[in-house]
């Protein structure tokens, strides 16, 4: 089963998105802060994808992306950013930092489903293509 870390400070939003992730057949690990997310990643190196809120506590999403992209073991981890931002400049900034995708909150079910399937399936194909 694919593992996804969902890192969001808001309990209500996190619970809703986590439920969707689990309904889609993924295992969801929930985090509320950037520091906790780093610790969970260290304990779970086999995580397949990170859903990361821009407005995390302790360590913001922007800082966390930069840390992860600087580490050999997480430089290719798909990171999907979540934010209420909708302007091109804000979204482009996170993509330039290394985010794989960007979803605007509130997240639509179909958009989340498609994004998770695209990012986790492309990883499988990349692995199988290299064999």
What mean pLDDT comes out for the span 66-91?
88
Whole-prediction pTM: 0.87
User: Which tens digit of pLDDT belongs to each residue from 104-122?
Assistant: 999 999 999 999 988 876 5
- Domains of the chain, with CATH numbers? 3-129 (3.40.50.2300)
Under a CB-based contact definition with an 8 Å cutoff, are residues 6 and 21 in contact? Answer: yes
- When mean pLDDT is compared across 56-70, 79-93, 98-112, the lowest value belongs to 79-93
Q: At what angle do helices 34-43 and 61-69 cross, to 10 degrees?
A: 30
């Amino acid at each position: 089963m694919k593992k996804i870390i969902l890192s969001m400070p808001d309990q209500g939003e996190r619970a809703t998105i986590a439920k969707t992730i689990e309904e889609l057949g993924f295992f969801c690990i929930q985090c509320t802060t950037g520091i906790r997310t780093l610790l969970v990643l260290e304990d779970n190196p086999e995580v397949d994808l990170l859903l990361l809120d821009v407005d995390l506590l302790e360590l913001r999403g922007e800082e966390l992306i930069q840390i992860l992209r600087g580490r050999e073991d997480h430089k290719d981890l798909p990171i999907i950013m979540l934010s209420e931002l909708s302007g091109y400049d804000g979204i482009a900034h996170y993509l330039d930092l290394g985010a794989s995708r960007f979803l605007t909150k509130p997240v639509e079910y179909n958009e989340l489903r498609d994004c998770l399937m695209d990012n986790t399936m492309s990883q499988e194909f990349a692995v199988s293509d290299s064999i």
